[in-house]
Amino acid sequence: MDELDRLSTEEFHRSAKSPLVVVLENVRSMHNVGSVFRTCDAFLVEKIYLCGFTPTPPHREIQKTALGATETVSWEAVTEVHQLIKNLKEQGYLVYTVEQIHSSISLDLFFPEKDKKIALVFGNEADGVSEETIKLCNGAIEIPQLGSKHSFNISVSAGIVLWDVMGKIKRR
């Protein structure tokens, strides 16, 4: 870890976080949850909200892919995702769902507003983000895809979107 110049858990907690939070709505797979934790650690995400029936740490299946990121990334279990989104908006977050809908903006055309905090909502592996949740968001971001499949695994989607948005935040 020293050779890779990685932060210790204590250093991670003291570090300034990215102006991003991640919301997982009814994500079923513990491996996906653990992978999102690990990705959020890599980008110093402020917090993860685990909503609905999304599993929460501690659990061995989450830890298997999180590799300790549940100890670094701040997280909270929230039953009611709709109230959470309203609260985040009141706190000044712009809330975007990552979903394929008619009004979505392609990720390559999405540019975060300067000095605005962002919440990214990712949904269930089979059903995506619920219609009610989509309606509460400021907008929707879609990952461009060229092949025959119409979706990515939720943990892959989180990795792609967080990497892209973080790069744009750093350049603004």
Q: What is the pLDDT of residue 3?
A: 59
Q: From start to end of 13-171, where are the E strands?
A: 18-25, 45-51, 75-78, 93-98, 105-106, 117-122, 139-142
% of the chain surpassing 70 pLDDT: 98
CA 129, 132, 133, 136 torsion: positive or negative? positive
The single-letter DSSP state of residue 74 is -
Q: What is the pLDDT of residue 45?
A: 97
Q: Residues 50-73: what's their mean pLDDT?
A: 95
User: Tens digit of pLDDT for each residue in 91-112?
Assistant: 999 999 999 999 999 999 999 9
Q: 98-115 burial by CB neighbour count: b if 16+ within 10 A, else e?
A: bbeeeebeebeebebeee
Query: Domains plus CATH for the chain?
Result: 9-171 (3.40.1280.10)
Q: What is the pLDDT of residue 104?
A: 97
As a whole number of angstroms, the distance between CA 19 and CA 44 comes to: 9
Q: What is the pLDDT of residue 15?
A: 84
As a whole number of angstroms, the distance between CA 85 and CA 22 comes to: 11
User: Tens digit of pLDDT for each residue in 41-59?
Assistant: 999 999 999 999 999 999 9
Position of tokens 């059903």?
127
